Amino acid sequence: MTDLTDPGERKAELAGNLARVEERIARACAAAGRSRDEVTLVVVTKTYPAGDVRLLAELGVRHVAENRDQDAAPKAAACADLGLTWHFVGQLQTNKVRSVAGYADFVHSVDRSRLVRSLEGAAERAGRELGCLIQVALDAESGQRGERGGAAPADVDELADELAKAQGLRLDGVMTVAPLAGPYAGSPSEAFGRLREISTRLRTAHPAAKMVSAGMSSDLEEAVAAGATHVRVGSAVLGQRPRLG
Ligand SMILES: *Cc1c(COP(=O)(O)O)cnc(C)c1O
């Protein structure tokens, strides 16, 4: 949709948006008494073209994320020369794992044993090490579980042990999306506080699993306040997506 836009204008628009997001992260860090370098901005480029990824790289972005392999694979290939770190943040079907293991550096959406086994095989075949985060569904216990995937909090420890033993996979931490239903709906601070508890518990058994991926355009401040190490920001940088993506 932005292909017809003059690249100079688009770059200026992205630069302005990035500056505003950077300011929000810096303020949130200051308010929480955290150092700015404890939080990594991951720009979610889903639905936007490879040209935008290139402009973002020119503006200093180092981490990008995608949620659908069909879109991500060609984009990552088109941007292979940029040396970016690619994060896969969407629900992952096992038939896409082989492709994802070819370009992703991190997978934030590991939520079941079958996926761990599939990722292990794909990482070995690709000769790559994949950083893995366990996606936690904070609405899983309410019976109103959304459609975004994720493991129930009670299943995190077992999945973590499986990940830690898997060849070619590195257990790096936890991820969540603030739930739209259940007891945490509309309360991102409480949701991210719960994720922090789950992360703390995980790190007693797996001290290296320090990543906490939480917070998007609308709730990055709450995530930084609750200890997020990675915020995943899409629309505040790239603009409103025309459809849910
Ligand atoms: C799309 C998406 C984001 C970014 O959402 P915005 O509201 O556009 O910032 C973050 N995380 C995941 C898992 C996503 O799918």
| Residue 244 pLDDT grade (very low, low, confident, very high; cuts 50, 70, 90) | low
Match domain 7-237 to its CATH number in 3.20.20.10, 3.40.50.1360, 3.10.20.600, 3.20.20.140.
Answer: 3.20.20.10
Q: What is the pLDDT of residue 232?
A: 98
Centroid of chain to Cα 232: 5
Within 10 A of 87 (CB to CB), how many other CB atoms are there? 27
Per-residue pLDDT tens over the stretch 174-201:
999 999 888 999 999 999 999 999 999 9
Closest residue to atom 6 of ligand 1, CA basis: 234
| Residue 145 pLDDT grade (very low, low, confident, very high; cuts 50, 70, 90) | low
Q: What is the pLDDT of residue 4?
A: 64
C-alpha of residue 8 to centroid of ligand 1, in Å:
26
Q: Which helix (H) or strand (E) holds 109?
A: strand 106-110
Candidate from 46-50, 86-90, 141-145, 192-196 with smallest mean pLDDT = 141-145
Q: Which comes out higher in pLDDT, residue 143 or 179?
A: 179
Burial of 77 (C-beta count, 10 Å sphere; 0-12/13-18/19+): exposed
Q: Give pTM, 2 decimals.
A: 0.95
Mean pLDDT to the nearest integer, 82-101 = 98
Candidate from 2-6, 80-84, 108-112, 164-168 with smallest mean pLDDT = 2-6
Cα separation of 153 and 175, whole Å?
11
What atom in ligand 1 is closest to the CA of residue 218?
7
What atom in ligand 1 is closest to the CA of residue 44?
4
Centroid of chain to Cα 206: 20
